[in-house]
Amino acid sequence: MSRRLNFFYDIRLEFDAPVVEHAFVLRCVPPSFPGQEILDATLELDPHTPYTRQRDSFGNLMQIGRLSQPHDHFHYTVSGTARVDLSLRRPEADLPVCRYPSAYTVPSRDIQNYFHSLSLPQTPAERAWALSEAVGSRMRYTPGVTGPSTTAAQAFAAGEGVCQDYAHLYLTLARLAGFSARYVNGLPEGEGASHAWCEIWLDGVWTGIDPTRGKWTDEGYIRFGTGRDFGDCPIERGTFLGRTAQRQTVFMRVCQQ
């Protein structure tokens, strides 16, 4: 079912003291592909600075720039309209690199033991779903106990985390089961913060599954980027010169037009 979605994504970084030579790479503009058509998208940066556009090796859109002058904040907003219709997806090539452990998804001995304890169905789709249920039964959603550098093994040991941790654990289990599976970030319908889920290669199509919410993804999701794990496709990454603490405020909204 085709849906037309308005999206708004806003991030503000505030620094306790001015910084300089701030180099940044953003992946905050969603791309178009079969099943997701971006009808319009506007990116605004404050302080205003020119940036270049490129694609990374996974096909994600990147916005790359540098702020050389002193500044005490970095604020960017992307807004636009997307048409999402999963019936328009087309067969895609498998990515063998998504079949093997990556930096965030190396299975610990405990994860391997947990995987071998599972009684998995035979059909691929049922097996993929059972792995999502296995993640949900093991993890408790708890903000603040993990961070961007937390691995699947660390989150599994803690038994709690957020969507990034659920996705990394799912990828670890799916790859142990022989699937090609990749990390996805983007925006789900509603309000709050950005979200992470997974895509698994089923019958020649990359099919979304959200282990945090316990559902297959639908036309209420807008994809920003994909990769082997979070490290391949962070929405924002940067470096700067200066001794300062920083605070981040995030807000997103996706609603049907």
Tell me, yes or no, whether 152 and 204 share the same domain: yes
- Determine the Cα–Cα distance for residues 250 and 239; give it in Å rounded to an integer: 19
- Determine the Cα–Cα distance for residues 88 and 2; give it in Å rounded to an integer: 9
- pLDDT averaged over every residue in the chain: 97
Tell me, yes or no, whether 239 and 228 share the same domain: no
pLDDT at position 220 is: 98
Q: Which of 28, 47, 27, 35 is nearest to 5 (CA)?
A: 35
Tell me, yes or no, whether 168 and 109 share the same domain: yes
pLDDT at position 1 is: 82
206, 223 Cβ separation under 8 angstroms: no
pLDDT at 73 over 90: yes
Which CATH number belongs to the domain containing residue 37 in this structure? 2.60.40.2250
Residue 10 dihedral angles phi and psi, to the nearest 5°: -135, 125
- Determine the Cα–Cα distance for residues 25 and 52; give it in Å rounded to an integer: 10
Mean pLDDT on 149-170? 98
Tell me, yes or no, whether 64 and 78 share the same domain: yes
Tell me, yes or no, whether 206 and 252 share the same domain: no
Tell me, yes or no, whether 226 and 239 share the same domain: no
Range of the domain at 81: 3-87+235-256
Mean pLDDT on 209-219? 98
How are beta strands 3-26 and 160-161 bridged, if at all?
unpaired
Tell me, yes or no, whether 43 and 146 share the same domain: no
Tell me, yes or no, whether 131 and 64 share the same domain: no
Total structural domains within the chain: 2
pLDDT at position 97 is: 97
CA–CA–CA angle 202, 188, 207 (5° rounding) = 5
127, 118 Cβ separation under 8 angstroms: no
- Determine the Cα–Cα distance for residues 222 and 254; give it in Å rounded to an integer: 9
Query: What single DSSP character describes residue 58?
Result: T
Alpha helix stretches (DSSP H) within the chain: 109-117, 124-138, 152-158, 163-176
Lookup result for tokens 């490290």 = 231
* Rg for the chain, CA atoms, rounded: 19
Tell me, yes or no, whether 118 and 162 share the same domain: yes
Tell me, yes or no, whether 113 and 221 share the same domain: yes
Each residue of 80-118: pLDDT tens digit? 999 999 999 999 999 999 999 999 999 999 999 999 999
